Amino acid sequence: MKLYIIQNLNSHWKNNSSKNIITKLAHKFNLEIPQYKETGKPILNTGYISISHSNQFLVVIYSNQPIGIDCEIIRPIQQSLIDKLKLDKLNPILDWCKRESVIKLLDDKSYLLKKELNEYYFETVSFNPLLCIVLASNKAIPTIEIIHLDSELNFINLTQ
């Protein structure tokens, strides 16, 4: 399982900017280029892929098992949204990311309103203290190889 973290050092990612980057990523690392369902979910013939972005970070996970990913910049969430969605009051961003990662795993937006997600496996990726990254699967999640790139797909030293 490989997690590509692509950081746009100059600006934030825009909606729909991922398709172009995914194609470049696939060519650089000899990966399959996904097709997209009507819902926007990327699909592969030979495995699974999930994509998320927040501000300057775009994350892409390639896996041989079903997988969903979400990333969010850690920030305050309005109390009204926490109450409406019944998010965990102690860590609403983590709860939000778990739900979003299941939505991407299942391609089912109703999971944003579901509190109980006990039948899924979750893995948080500690990469940056300002970023919450959560993976969801219906199977135990194996070791994740993290590859950190800039927007031109050059390697970034993780110790920076």
Q: Is residue 156 part of a domain?
A: no
pLDDT tens for the 160 residues of the chain, in order: 999 999 998 888 877 788 999 999 999 999 999 999 999 899 999 999 999 999 999 999 999 999 999 999 999 999 999 999 999 999 999 999 999 999 999 999 988 888 788 899 999 999 899 999 999 999 999 999 999 999 999 999 654 4
On whether residue 97 sits in a domain, the answer given is: yes
Amino acid, res. 57: F
Q: What SS3 class is residue 15?
A: coil
Range of the domain at 121: 2-150
Domain-embedded: residue 155: no
CA–CA distance, 23 with 44 (Å, rounded to integer): 13
- Whether 159 maps to a domain, the answer reads no
Q: Is residue 157 part of a domain?
A: no
Q: Is 160 a member of any domain?
A: no
* Residue whose token pair is 């390697």: 155
Q: Domain tally for the chain?
A: 1
145 domain residue, yes or no: yes
Q: Report yes or no on 31 lying in a domain.
A: yes
Neighbours of 133 (CB within 10 A): 25
pTM value is 0.93
